[in-house]
Amino acid sequence: MTRAIGIDIGGTGIKGAVVDLAVGELVSERVKHATPEGGVPDDIVSTVRLIVDDLVENHRGDDVTHIGVCFPAIVRNGRTMSAANVSDDWIGLDADARFSEALGRGIHFVNDADAAGYAEVVYGAARDHRGLVIMTTLGTGIGSALIYDGVLIPNSELGHLELDGDDAEHWAANSAREREDLSFERWAERLTRYYRHVEFLFSPDLLVIGGGVSKQHDEFLHLIDVSTPIVPAELRNNAGIMGAAALAQRHSR
């Protein structure tokens, strides 16, 4: 069995698990810690180390071959080039090297939405889908992943598409719905505008909608008026963990 550890770093929580990559299932419980206040690199690295040690010692992670870590930032060659909901100290940091040093072994570092989207293509809602799949995560921001014929094109950052002079994620993310107390109908009007723009630019074959709010997809997905087939994500909270683990293995090949 090929096992890898996946770690998903977010603005509020950091979670990790051991993943069986052959079947795409977690084979350990999820170990979760709160994201340290301020989100500075040293504190986050220490928390990830606690999680990895725990998984290796207590949760069947002793024979893992790879560790993948996903994070809410543009990641270029292991370096974090932005920082969403964490400290600005991440900007320009060689995260890959920092984590590898602290953990005493190589890791693979990727954007959080890229990990989630990749997992949906390999194991979830877009399994075996050919052509262009675009996954977006609707949360505090909007994360995006572009996967063409199973190959990830990283760092697409479609949450920052500018429409009406403003980043789409400022008015279309789930945080905008909550902040402005929008009904699902009103929110879906904004999402329609956003996804039509995405459709126009990329002509995707499938749109996958993730993020915590995708649990409530019955309330709004059918109201998004686009011509591309649109489906809810399937892997929910585990998508980042699974995708980070799978990308770590793929990267090592």
**Contacts to ligand BGC by CB under 6 A:** 72-74, 82, 84, 111-113, 137, 139, 141, 143, 157, 159, 169
Q: What's the closest the beta carbon of residue 85 comes to ligand BGC, in angstroms?
A: 7
Which residue number, 56 or 163, has a Cβ lying nearer to ligand BGC?
A: 163
Which residue number, 96 or 112, has a Cβ lying nearer to ligand BGC?
A: 112
Which residue number, 77 or 227, has a Cβ lying nearer to ligand BGC?
A: 77
Q: What's the closest the beta carbon of residue 199 comes to ligand BGC, in angstroms?
A: 20
Which residue number, 212 or 229, has a Cβ lying nearer to ligand BGC?
A: 212
Q: What's the closest the beta carbon of residue 35 comes to ligand BGC, in angstroms?
A: 12
Nearest Cα neighbor of 67 from 98, 10, 16, 107 is: 107
Q: What's the closest the beta carbon of residue 116 comes to ligand BGC, in angstroms?
A: 9
Cβ–Cβ < 8 Å for 32, 47: no
User: Would you state the structure tokens that stand for residue 221, as one six-digit string?
Assistant: 């997905």
> Would you mind telling me the total number of residues written for the chain in this entry?
253
Nearest Cα neighbor of 7 from 88, 79, 66, 75 is: 66
Which residue number, 53 or 180, has a Cβ lying nearer to ligand BGC?
A: 180
Where would I find the H helices in 203-238? Answer: 217-220
Cβ–Cβ < 8 Å for 90, 73: yes
Q: What's the closest the beta carbon of residue 2 comes to ligand BGC, in angstroms?
A: 26
Cβ–Cβ < 8 Å for 249, 2: yes
